[in-house]
Amino acid sequence: MQNNIVHDVCIRELVESDIEFLRLLRNKEENRKNFIYQKEISYEEQLRWYDRYKNTSNDYMYTIISKKDEMPLGFAAIYDVTNNIGEFGRLIVDKTRYTSPGLGKYVLNHLIDISREKLELQRLKLEVFKDNIAAIKVYKFCGFHEYGESTSNGRKIIHMELNI
Ligand SMILES: CC(C)(COP(=O)(O)OP(=O)(O)OC[C@H]1O[C@@H](n2cnc3c(N)ncnc32)[C@H](O)[C@@H]1OP(=O)(O)O)[C@@H](O)C(=O)NCCC(=O)NCCS
């Protein structure tokens, strides 16, 4: 499974020309509902977010690129890095353009490698809505375990971590 994905995609740091793809993918109803901030993001808001992102030294956002057409297929980030601990999040893949299974797991494994080898982190943490079965499967497959729970607007959130 993962062998095919290596031939189909590459992962590189986010650049400004990616952010409109990110905004449109993030704004889809089926994706928005899985993030804490669920409102639609305007073009101007996205530009302001990118300006802040560029000026934040402990936020690392990555773009998954299709080798076929060199267009973005998804995104993921490691952010709020302090004391060798980082938060994993903003994972999103365009299932309409990449229909084979396994991309979510491939991306997370790749970012775990970056966390260990480049960022020299010792632990990754994340939060996920308890009803987001696909994401939880990805996180558990990559070794994350649950260590707590909270609630946001009546929806349960699971807190997970991975020592790397
Ligand atoms: C979460 C997400 C990145 C997973 O990407 P993906 O490429 O589908 O991930 P994978 O194919 O590696 O694995 C997904 C697993 O969930 C399963 N799955 C997918 N949709 C599912 C559903 N609706 N119900 C139950 N299981 C589901 C898949 O079968 C697979 O399970 P398997 O390992 O047993 O085969 C993708 O669904 C997505 O972009 N979701 C919207 C944004 C989001 O929720 N981000 C996470 C926020 S915390």
CA of 164 to the centre of ligand 1 (A): 22
Residue written as token pair 């490698």: 113
Mutation probe of ligand 1 site: the residue of 138, 139, 150 with most atoms within 8 A of C-beta: 138
Residue nearest to atom 4 of ligand 1 (CA): 104
Please state, in angstroms and rounded to a whole number, the distance separating the CA atoms of residues 123 and 81: 10
CA of 104 to the centre of ligand 1 (A): 7
DSSP state of 18: G
CA of 55 to the centre of ligand 1 (A): 31
**Which residues fall within 8 angstroms of residue 39, CB to CB, at 6 or more apart?**
32
Q: What angle do CA 101, 13, 20 make, to 5 degrees?
A: 80
DSSP E strand boundaries for the chain: 9-13, 60-66, 72-82, 85-93, 123-129, 145-152, 155-163
Q: For 49-107, write each residue's pLDDT tens digit.
A: 999 999 999 999 999 999 999 999 999 999 999 999 999 999 999 999 999 999 999 99
Residue nearest to atom 19 of ligand 1 (CA): 134
Mutation probe of ligand 1 site: the residue of 30, 63, 93, 128 with most atoms within 8 A of C-beta: 93
Q: For 13-59, write each residue's pLDDT tens digit.
A: 999 999 999 999 999 999 999 999 999 999 999 999 999 999 999 99
The pLDDT, as a whole number, for residue 2 is 56
Q: How many residues does the chain have?
A: 164
Q: Residue 10: pLDDT band by 50, 70, 90 thresholds?
A: very high
Question: For residues 105 and 93, is the Cβ–Cβ distance under 8 A?
Answer: no
The pLDDT, as a whole number, for residue 3 is 63
Q: What is the reported pTM?
A: 0.96
Maximum Cα interatomic distance, the chain, rounded to a whole number of Å: 42
Residue nearest to atom 12 of ligand 1 (CA): 102
Please state, in angstroms and rounded to a whole number, the distance separating the CA atoms of residues 126 and 103: 18
Question: For residues 53 and 61, is the Cβ–Cβ distance under 8 A?
Answer: yes
Please state, in angstroms and rounded to a whole number, the distance separating the CA atoms of residues 152 and 114: 30
Task: Kindly give the number of the ligand 1 atom that is closest to the alpha carbon of 93.
Answer: 39
Task: Kindly give the number of the ligand 1 atom that is closest to the alpha carbon of 134.
Answer: 16
